[in-house]
Amino acid sequence: MSTAPDGSRATIRAVARLAGVSASTVSRALNAPELVNAETRRRVLECADRLGYQPNRAAQSLVLGRTRNVGLIVPDIANPFYAPFIKGVEAHFRDTEYAVFLADTDEDTATEVRLAEAMSERVDGLILCAPRMSGTRLRTVASKTTIVLANRVSRAAPSVLLDFRPGMEQAVAHVHALGHRRCAYLAGPANSWSNRQRRRYLAAGCAARGIELVELGPYEPRFTGGFRAADEVLAQDVTAVFAYNDLVALGVLSRLTARGVPVPARPGTPGGLSLVGFDDVPMASMTHPPLTTVAMPVTALARAAAAAMHAMLAEGAPGAPPPPPAAELATRLLIRGTTGPI
Amino acid sequence: MSTAPDGSRATIRAVARLAGVSASTVSRALNAPELVNAETRRRVLECADRLGYQPNRAAQSLVLGRTRNVGLIVPDIANPFYAPFIKGVEAHFRDTEYAVFLADTDEDTATEVRLAEAMSERVDGLILCAPRMSGTRLRTVASKTTIVLANRVSRAAPSVLLDFRPGMEQAVAHVHALGHRRCAYLAGPANSWSNRQRRRYLAAGCAARGIELVELGPYEPRFTGGFRAADEVLAQDVTAVFAYNDLVALGVLSRLTARGVPVPARPGTPGGLSLVGFDDVPMASMTHPPLTTVAMPVTALARAAAAAMHAMLAEGAPGAPPPPPAAELATRLLIRGTTGPI
DNA sequence: CTGAAAGCGCTAACAC
DNA sequence: GTGTTAGCGCTTTCAG
């Protein structure tokens, strides 16, 4: 059994006593097998096993100065965009000595700050996905623990980034080729890096091609945000819509369908709309019609973030983090059913 | 700043030195203010603050024997059913001394076991949501840490449970009232407690009313599981379908719509289907038509689980857990647009 | 009300 | 190869 008769857990000394060696030898047998006689080691391991010995992590952490935990903070676990990110990070650390601790900020900056602070005391490193906190705050957190940023740049810590440009460029070119000349952008959270990026490349692409772009919102980046957006879009005189993300796009699609507005426009019939999303969440390919969207290589992003963190941790550099590498991962347009000629 | 010039963090002794007191006094000023002179305490607090002192959690854990972390393991964070559960638990522990560590098993039993084991070393308590591991395994984990189960019963630990019966009863009665006499149940994972519960009450309700129930599956409990299910349902001669959960139902709805099968049946036209889901995920109310489904009071369940855990932790009972309370929370049918007369 | 001392369980020099 | 010793940073008796 794993617990002694009195309910307390076996310590390294108990194992040592049972095996007739010192605590150091047990420690070595466990952590540096090559430093100990094969036979001794066998005996120690057997005794440890017999007592159900598990090293006390607090004691290890205290002496080693590391927890072997890494934290992962995302804005909203319910957002399908983050699911593959989370799973990617978890997958990377599975079968390593690290455990991944996940937390969700509910898209709230104050919660994010509190969580980052609580976590930073309990982990060796923290992966912050699309954090909304200020640069100053970020610096504070970075001074306490090793940080890797995903989808956010800062001088305070290295980042892994999605390169929005190719996808956005392709989206604008596609819509332009279909004849659209007046489009709407349904903005997401104003303080979000993703929103700024999307808007920026969209604006640039539209300007370059003589497309007039009207910005609506901000909307909450969820399905219901799209409902509200849909009605406001209809009040504008546009023929195509770029939504902040797929969830919003799906909400727009749903509401538009309910109001009888064809997506995309039916040739010859006025009043239809073309619709482009961002993220390529699983649901996007399953609607009627399936959503034209810009796909993000989220799993690759996750892997990059996890690998960067793992490397920084391994480096053992307790001082300043290594030179921030900023991996960029290209997005691309997936043309499906919600875009058509004007 | 929070770090000393040399990058190392301030210790309790540093604070003590600066304040001209002993480490014990600093500790007391922080943890038991009433035991220390008000003025001394003020000074200590000020010094602590000035040095950016943060107690080392590993050291605290070591001496206190507790981590002030609680773990939460769910089958799939991407499943919208679990999102409110997670948020409910997180909300409960926000502003407590505990941090919640979340992990996701990817619906995989082996991963679940590994995670539970890794977590149990790092937390004071573990909330297991709909665990799939064996009773034996559960007992092993329960011997290492305090456990609360959600949607699963076991002698090894207390549970909070949803009472599926009222919702299922209502669903069957509803479908029966609409004239359906031959229905299908699209089963979820065979080893899942939820699946067993649903099937059981469904079977009982149908039997009591003379409805013939054919069971199909198991299907993976996701949108895509519903695609496959839809085609298999069409090959059966049924008029109504109970899906394992909303995701599956949504997949069925999508596929049925694509194949031109009306949901619900159009009066007078043969071949339509009525459809009932379970969970009431957000998306369920947003489809066309909106999904008739059995709503689960998930947030209440989460609160109950968190409260139970918190109580057990507070009790400080390091030995055996208190008598397992098994809270039961009633489900209910939400009649929306996917059910209609035969 | 405060300080000195002991020790939580473990690892890492340093001897032998 | 293995044992001895000395802490890691904190809390908590026990004296005063």
Note whether B289 and B334 are within 8 A (CB): no
* Closest among B286, B90, B316, B59 to A57, alpha carbons compared: B59
DSSP B290: P
Does the CB of B259 have a partner CB in chain A at under 8 Å?
Answer: no
Q: Straight-line distance from CA A56 to C1' C6, in Å?
A: 20
Instruction: Name, in order, each residue with C-beta under 8 angstroms of A284's C-beta and a sequence gap of 6 or more.
Output: A246, A249, A250, A277, A290, A291, A293, A336
Q: Straight-line distance from CA A28 to C1' C13, in Å?
A: 14
Alpha carbons A65 and A68: distance in angstroms, whole number: 10
Residue of A nearest to B5 (CA): A319
- B287·A254 Cβ contact <8 A: yes
Q: Summarize pLDDT for A53-104 with one digit per residue, the tens.
A: 999 999 999 999 999 999 999 999 988 889 999 999 999 999 899 999 999 9
Q: Give the number of other CB atoms < 10 A from CB of residue B332.
A: 14
CA distances to A44, A47, A184, B298 from B84, in Å: 47, 45, 33, 6
Q: Kindly determine whether the C-beta of residue B64 is less than 7 Å away from any atom of nucleic acid strand D.
A: yes
Q: Kindly determine whether the C-beta of residue A61 is less than 7 Å away from any atom of nucleic acid strand C.
A: no
Q: Give the number of other CB atoms < 10 A from CB of residue A2.
A: 14
CB-nearest partner of B100 from A59, A103, A106: A103
CA distances to A79, A92, A202 from A187, in Å: 17, 33, 11
- Assigned domain for B4 exists: no
Based on the domain organization, do B126 and B205 belong to the same domain? no
Q: Kindly determine whether the C-beta of residue A23 is less than 7 Å away from any atom of nucleic acid strand D.
A: yes
What is the total count of domains within chain B?
3
Q: Which nucleotide is the nearest neighbour of B10, by CA and C1'? A: D9
Q: Give the number of other CB atoms < 10 A from CB of residue A14.
A: 18
Alpha carbons A53 and A50: distance in angstroms, whole number: 8
Based on the domain organization, do A168 and A288 belong to the same domain? yes
Name the token pair of B83: 């999102």
Q: Kindly determine whether the C-beta of residue B61 is less than 7 Å away from any atom of nucleic acid strand D.
A: no
Return the nearest residue to C3, CA–C1': B22
Q: Is the pLDDT score of A316 beyond 70?
A: no
Q: 3-class DSSP state for residue A228?
A: helix
- Chain A residues closer than 8 Å to B7 by CB: 318-319
Q: Straight-line distance from CA B24 to C1' D15, in Å?
A: 14
> What angle do the packed helices A23-31 and A12-19 form, to 10 degrees?
100
Q: Between β-strands B332-334 and B292-295, what pairing exists: parallel, antiparallel or unpaired?
A: antiparallel
DSSP B84-121: HHHHHHHHHHTTSS-EEEEEE-TT-HHHHHHHHHHHHT
Q: 3-class DSSP state for residue B226?
A: helix
Q: Summarize pLDDT for A144-193 with one digit per residue, the tens.
A: 999 999 999 899 999 999 999 999 999 999 999 999 999 999 999 998 88
- Chain A residues closer than 8 Å to B99 by CB: 101, 103, 118-119, 122
Q: Straight-line distance from CA A61 to C1' D8, in Å?
A: 9
Alpha carbons A149 and A130: distance in angstroms, whole number: 7
Alpha carbons A56 and A51: distance in angstroms, whole number: 14
- Chain A residues closer than 8 Å to B100 by CB: 103
Based on the domain organization, do B308 and B278 belong to the same domain? no
Q: What share of chain A is helix, strand, coil (3-state, %, to 5)?
A: 45, 20, 35
Strand-pair partners of A192: none
**Which pTM was predicted?**
0.88
Q: Between β-strands A332-334 and A292-295, what pairing exists: parallel, antiparallel or unpaired?
A: antiparallel
* Closest among A298, A254, A301, A227 to A81, alpha carbons compared: A298
As to burial, measured by CB atoms within 10 angstroms (0-12 exposed, 13-18 middle, 19+ buried), residue A204 is: middle
What distance in Å separates residue B98's CA from the closest CA in chain A? 9
- Of B277, B296, B315, the position where a domain reaches its end is B296
Q: Summarize pLDDT for B151-193 with one digit per residue, the tens.
A: 998 999 999 999 999 999 999 999 999 999 999 999 999 988 8
Q: Kindly determine whether the C-beta of residue B64 is less than 7 Å away from any atom of nucleic acid strand C.
A: no
- B2·A144 Cβ contact <8 A: yes
Q: How many CA atoms lie within 13 A of B316 on its CB side?
A: 2
Does the CB of B119 have a partner CB in chain A at under 8 Å?
Answer: yes
Name the token pair of B173: 């009665």
Residue of B nearest to A283 (CA): B223
* Closest among B167, B182, B177, B179 to B241, alpha carbons compared: B182
- B59·A54 Cβ contact <8 A: no
Q: Kindly determine whether the C-beta of residue B21 is less than 7 Å away from any atom of nucleic acid strand D.
A: no
What distance in Å separates residue A210's CA from the closest CA in chain B? 36
Q: Between β-strands A326-330 and A159-163, what pairing exists: parallel, antiparallel or unpaired?
A: parallel
What distance in Å separates residue B40's CA from the closest CA in chain A? 27
Name the token pair of B331: 């489900």
Based on the domain organization, do A204 and A237 belong to the same domain? yes
- B143·A1 Cβ contact <8 A: yes
- Assigned domain for A111 exists: yes
- Assigned domain for B52 exists: yes
Q: Which nucleotide is the nearest neighbour of A63, by CA and C1'? A: D8
Alpha carbons B281 and B82: distance in angstroms, whole number: 9
Based on the domain organization, do B185 and B285 belong to the same domain? yes
- A99·B119 Cβ contact <8 A: yes
- Assigned domain for B333 exists: no
User: Which CATH number goes with the domain that contains B51?
Assistant: 1.10.260.40
CB-nearest partner of A122 from B59, B62, B69: B69
CB-nearest partner of B87 from A87, A94, A106: A106
Alpha carbons A30 and B16: distance in angstroms, whole number: 37
Q: Summarize pLDDT for B205-241 with one digit per residue, the tens.
A: 999 999 999 999 899 998 999 999 999 999 999 999 9
- Chain B residues closer than 8 Å to A61 by CB: 58, 61
- Assigned domain for A331 exists: no
- Assigned domain for B339 exists: no
Based on the domain organization, do A173 and A275 belong to the same domain? yes
Based on the domain organization, do B197 and B79 belong to the same domain? no
> What angle do the packed helices A135-144 and A109-120 form, to 10 degrees?
10
- Assigned domain for A212 exists: yes
Name the token pair of B183: 């229905």
- Assigned domain for B221 exists: yes
What distance in Å separates residue A6's CA from the closest CA in chain B? 9
Based on the domain organization, do A124 and A172 belong to the same domain? no
Strand-pair partners of A184: A214, A241
- Chain A residues closer than 8 Å to B4 by CB: none
Based on the domain organization, do B175 and B206 belong to the same domain? yes
CB-nearest partner of B103 from A62, A78, A102: A102
- More reliable by pLDDT, A286 or A326: A286
Alpha carbons B305 and B162: distance in angstroms, whole number: 11
Q: What is the separation of C-alpha B175 from the centre of its chain, rounded to a whole number of angstroms?
A: 29
- Chain A residues closer than 8 Å to B223 by CB: 282-283, 286
What distance in Å separates residue A67's CA from the closest CA in chain B? 8
Residue B292 backbone dihedrals phi, psi, to 5 degrees: -70, 130
Report how many Cβ contacts below 8 Å link chain A to chain B: 110
Question: What number is the average pLDDT over the span A268-294?
Answer: 92
Does the CB of A46 have a partner CB in chain B at under 8 Å?
Answer: no
Q: Summarize pLDDT for B93-105 with one digit per residue, the tens.
A: 998 999 999 999 9
- A102·B106 Cβ contact <8 A: no
Based on the domain organization, do A73 and A117 belong to the same domain? yes
What distance in Å separates residue B15's CA from the closest CA in chain A? 18
CA distances to A1, A33, A63, A187 from A23, in Å: 21, 14, 15, 61
Segments forming the whole domain that contains residue B215: 164-296
User: Which CATH number goes with the domain that contains A260?
Assistant: 3.40.50.2300
Alpha carbons B101 and B86: distance in angstroms, whole number: 10
Based on the domain organization, do B249 and B102 belong to the same domain? no
- B62·A67 Cβ contact <8 A: no
Alpha carbons B111 and B99: distance in angstroms, whole number: 22
Based on the domain organization, do A187 and A204 belong to the same domain? yes
Question: Going residue by residue through chain B (342 aa), what tens digit of pLDDT does each one get?
Answer: 445 445 578 999 999 999 999 999 999 999 999 999 999 999 999 999 999 999 999 999 999 999 999 999 999 998 888 999 999 999 999 989 999 999 999 989 999 999 999 999 999 999 999 999 999 999 999 999 999 999 998 999 999 999 999 999 999 999 999 999 999 999 999 988 889 999 999 999 999 999 999 999 899 998 999 999 999 999 999 999 999 999 999 999 999 988 999 999 998 888 899 999 999 998 898 888 999 999 999 999 999 999 999 999 987 654 455 555 677 899 999 999 999 998
Q: Is the pLDDT score of A318 beyond 50?
A: no
Alpha helices in chain A (DSSP H): 12-19, 23-31, 38-51, 57-64, 82-93, 109-120, 135-144, 164-177, 193-209, 223-234, 246-258, 298-315
- A54·B121 Cβ contact <8 A: yes
What distance in Å separates residue A208's CA from the closest CA in chain B? 37
* Closest among B173, B134, B129 to B148, alpha carbons compared: B129
What stretch of H or E contains A183? strand A182-186
Residue A259 backbone dihedrals phi, psi, to 5 degrees: -85, 5
